[in-house]
């Protein structure tokens, strides 16, 4: 029989508590985050002299933030592709999947020097697992743009980077700015690669900076086989995005044509560009 005394006794108490409270790996991380928040849970050696560490509280906080993002994308019981190099980012993403009941499909990012082998492997995993979202680092996504343009299996998972939210992956959706929330809504609509996208005043309430950012975002999808139908009162947005415009005033169509044709129409100028706003 083992005998415990002095400093050994708290360890015994912890194990007794574990047996009563812990049923899953998620329970364990949350329990450790409460009882020993500053204790190192994992470490990664960058080189002989530099090491990064992650505490139990750090894992729990980051995993909850990632889980919140996945829940916003309705990922429960769906699959998420985890494209990470070895390191602590993969650990927090994996636990984020566990917290949100998302099925994780881990894979290494394609190696720039061995694309003929590593990219087909990534494409094959994506094709087999059919994930609705991909999680990775912003640095990896920044280098994948050209590759994703030639990969139908991966293109649908590129929307988070397209909408400029890669740096917000650890932020709860409720804490995002109004502009970022609208971009998140766009991402949720774009993640399934729709052929038709219907937008009702996508820039309503945005600052001019956020409006211009959204215009630039929507321009990026031109030529990807996607038709956009936009209802918008901001003529700056309309003329920046539309190939063809139908103008309504008091419930009736008063003009229809290309942006140049509509801009020069006297009825449009009276109703929207100079006269009283209908």
Q: Which of 184-198, 227-241, 248-262 has the lowest mean pLDDT?
A: 184-198
Region of 79 please: left (phi>0), alpha (psi -120 to 50) or beta. beta
pTM, to two decimals: 0.53
pLDDT score of 216 more than 90: no
CATH fold, domain 14-177, is Rossmann fold (3.40.50)
Contact 41, 59 (CB under 8 A): yes
pLDDT at 104: 94
Residues 80-130 have pLDDT tens digits of 989 888 888 899 999 999 999 999 999 988 877 777 788 888 888 888 888
C-alpha distances out from residue 59 to 18, 23, 30, 37, 77, Å: 18, 18, 9, 10, 22
Express each pLDDT in 131-141 by its tens digit. 888 888 867 76
Question: What is the structure's pLDDT at 273?
Answer: 66
Does pLDDT of 19 surpass 80?
A: no
* The pLDDT of residue 147: 63
Identify whether the C-beta of residue 44 lies closer than 8 Å to the C-beta of residue 86.
Answer: yes
Choose from 141-145, 149-153, 169-173, 258-262 the range with maximum mean pLDDT: 258-262
Residues 235, 272 contacting (CB under 8 angstroms): yes
Which pLDDT belongs to residue 143? 65
Would you say residue 159 has pLDDT above 80?
A: no
- Residue 6 confidence (pLDDT): 33
Measured from the Cβ of residue 25, the count of other Cβ atoms closer than 10 Å reads: 11
Q: What is the pLDDT of residue 112?
A: 73
């Amino acid at each position: 029989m083992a005998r415990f005394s002095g400093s050994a006794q708290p360890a015994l108490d912890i194990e007794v508590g574990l047996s009563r409270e812990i049923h899953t790996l998620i329970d364990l991380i949350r329990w450790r985050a409460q009882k020993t928040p500053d204790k190192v849970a994992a470490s990664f050696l960058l080189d002989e002299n530099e090491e990064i560490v992650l505490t139990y509280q750090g894992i729990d906080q980051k995993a909850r933030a990632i889980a919140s993002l996945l829940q916003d994308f309705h990922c429960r019981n769906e699959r998420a592709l985890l494209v990470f190099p070895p390191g602590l980012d993969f650990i927090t993403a994996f636990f984020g999947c566990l917290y949100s009941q998302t099925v994780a499909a881990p894979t290494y990012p394609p190696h720039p020097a061995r694309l003929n082998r590593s990219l087909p492997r990534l494409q094959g995993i994506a094709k087999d697992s059919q994930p609705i979202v991909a999680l990775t680092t912003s640095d990896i996504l920044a280098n994948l743009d050209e590759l994703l343009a030639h990969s139908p299996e991966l293109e649908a998972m590129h929307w988070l980077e397209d909408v400029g939210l890669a740096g917000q992956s650890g932020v709860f959706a409720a804490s995002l700015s109004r502009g970022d929330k609208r971009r998140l809504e766009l991402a949720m609509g774009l993640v399934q690669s729709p052929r038709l996208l219907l937008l009702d005043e996508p820039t309503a309430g945005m600052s001019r900076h956020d409006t211009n950012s959204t215009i630039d975002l929507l321009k990026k999808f031109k030529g990807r086989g996607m038709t956009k139908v936009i209802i918008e009162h901001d003529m700056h947005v309309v003329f920046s995005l539309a190939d063809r415009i139908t103008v309504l005033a008091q419930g009736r169509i008063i003009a229809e044509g290309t942006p140049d044709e509509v801009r020069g129409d006297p009825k449009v100028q009276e109703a929207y560009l100079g006269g009283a706003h209908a």
